[in-house]
Amino acid sequence: MEFLPAELIRKKRFGGEHSREELRFLLKHYVADDLPNYQMAAWLMAVCAQGMTPEETSAFTLEMRDSGRVLDLGHLGTTVDKHSTGGLGDKTSLILAPLVAAAGVPVPMMAGRGLGHTGGTLDKLESIPGFDVHVDLEHFQQLLETVGTAIIGQTFEVCPADRKLYALRDVTGTIDSLPLICGSIMSKKLAEGMSALVLDVKFGSGAFMKTQAQAEDLARALMDIGVRNGKRVTAFLTRMDEPLGRFIGNALEVQECLDIMAGKTSNGAPGKTYADTIELTLALAAQMIFMGGKAANTEHGRTLAEKLLANGSALRKFEQICAAQGGRLTEGLPRAERRETVTADRDGFFEYLDLEKLGHAAVFLGAGRKVQSDELDMGAGLEVFCRQSQAVKKGDPIFTLHFSETRGFASALAALNEGFQISTRPLTESPLIAKVLT
């Protein structure tokens, strides 16, 4: 069926609801380069202004999914994936995939790269020498059958409409639209063939959603799409008012995960431990193992996850993933050439003000990209010594900056200093997991 693009733009501009056929027309012609960027950009802006109904959002998601290949993993039984909306130091996927796979639940994981001030799972994995995230769908399915999990990037075969649309959204100021976010996330999850999904929707100064209410709106919209398409979805609303874990940066975060899977609770130095990384990982793993049918309930799933983490099963599975995807862990991880430590200038209580500033500091050091073509310094990043509201004395270490190139150091230090303060009184502590939606 043919439509006039200008009429579809006008329809959405004035709050009309698109049919699935209209959405199919827009996406099909955009992927085929028959619809110019300026018309699609106008339509995206109209969606940002007017939104979409739940039915419309679901139809949009399915058309994005169906723009490429869709995997059928039914022969593997119940497969469970996890998606995080991103946060500073968020590294749980690196432990979750092997941990849940070690419990016997297949985990198809199609991950992303760093976006803005937050790091990406693919970038972290590529800090491991030789690790290949560019796996085609046939090999991906083979790895799921033999290893039980694989972590790969979005292939050109999967959701080409999303890939092209996302690039346009990035340069037209149309990223932060709820239906567009939902369509982008869920189209890829539905295309990868998962049976169930656990969402980690973050909120706070280090997340894209700043308030718990915004995070819950996004979580419920994502869950609605999953349920409409026969998938079980659970969402965790988690706080991102302080970095997760001890380290921020690609190889640094991989090392933290290796330490945790080796049974360590910290890196042996004083300061912030790995406790929050471990707690969130176990909570998510418990839910995934339960949804995958390997535990009677989440309490049983938690017990099993703790056992598999403690006895080395998760680490052995991670090593198996690395070997299967070309990673050479025995060569060691990249290390930055320089380190500088920031210390407290007075007694008081440590307070995080703006985690985006800390993320920007990591980017200036080389751990993230200022522009898409930037090459990452895999060893760069930050070591975090303080929890929110932790008592500190003058001269105590606050952060250690890891870097090789000095040209970004001054900018990193300036951004870092805007991200925290030493207060006279502690803040009220809040739980890491604010709410679970089922």
**Which of 81, 162, 259, 377 is flagged as catalytic?**
162
Furthest-apart CA atoms within the chain: distance in Å: 70
- Tokens in use for 322? 């690395």
pLDDT of residue 346: 97
Question: What's the pLDDT tens digit per position in 8-52?
Answer: 999 999 999 999 999 999 999 999 999 999 999 999 999 999 999
| Options 2.60.40.1230, 1.10.760.10, 2.170.120.12, 1.20.970.10; CATH of 5-51 | 1.20.970.10
- Tokens in use for 373? 């073509």
Query: CA 406 → CA 366, 409, 413, distances in Å?
Result: 10, 5, 11
pLDDT of residue 269: 87
**Which of 12, 124, 188, 402 is flagged as catalytic?**
188
Q: Name 375's Cβ contacts closer than 8 Å, sequence gap at least 6.
A: none
CA angle, 391 then 395 then 401, to 5°: 95
**Which of 24, 169, 189, 239 is flagged as catalytic?**
169
CA angle, 39 then 41 then 44, to 5°: 115
Domain boundaries, the chain: 5-51, 74-157+196-331, 338-423
N-to-C CA span, the chain: 39
CA–CA gap between residue 14 and residue 50 (Å, rounded): 7
Find where tokens 């039980």 sit.
148
Residue 387 known to be catalytic: no
pLDDT of residue 45: 97
CA–CA gap between residue 353 and residue 58 (Å, rounded): 37
Instruction: Tell the CATH topology of 338-423.
Output: Aldehyde Oxidoreductase; domain 3 (3.90.1170)
Residue 83 known to be catalytic: yes
Do residues 342 and 397 lie in contact, with contact meaning Cβ atoms separated by under 8 Å? yes
What is the pairing mode between strands 196-203 and 232-239?
parallel
pLDDT of residue 275: 96
**Which of 83, 202, 272, 357 is flagged as catalytic?**
83
Helix, strand, coil percentages in the chain from 3-state DSSP, rounded to 5: 45, 15, 40
Closest CA to 84 of 115, 106, 60: 115
pLDDT of residue 116: 57
- Say what the pTM is: 0.94
**Which of 67, 84, 127, 184 is flagged as catalytic?**
184
Residue 188 known to be catalytic: yes
The CB density around residue 188, as the number of other CB atoms within 10 Å, is 24
Q: Name 414's Cβ contacts closer than 8 Å, sequence gap at least 6.
A: none
Please, what CATH class does the domain formed by 74-157+196-331 belong to? alpha beta
pLDDT of residue 29: 97
Closest CA to 395 of 347, 343, 342: 343
What is the pairing mode between strands 107-111 and 149-153?
parallel
Residue 300 known to be catalytic: no
Residues of the chain with pLDDT under 50: none
Residue 354 known to be catalytic: no
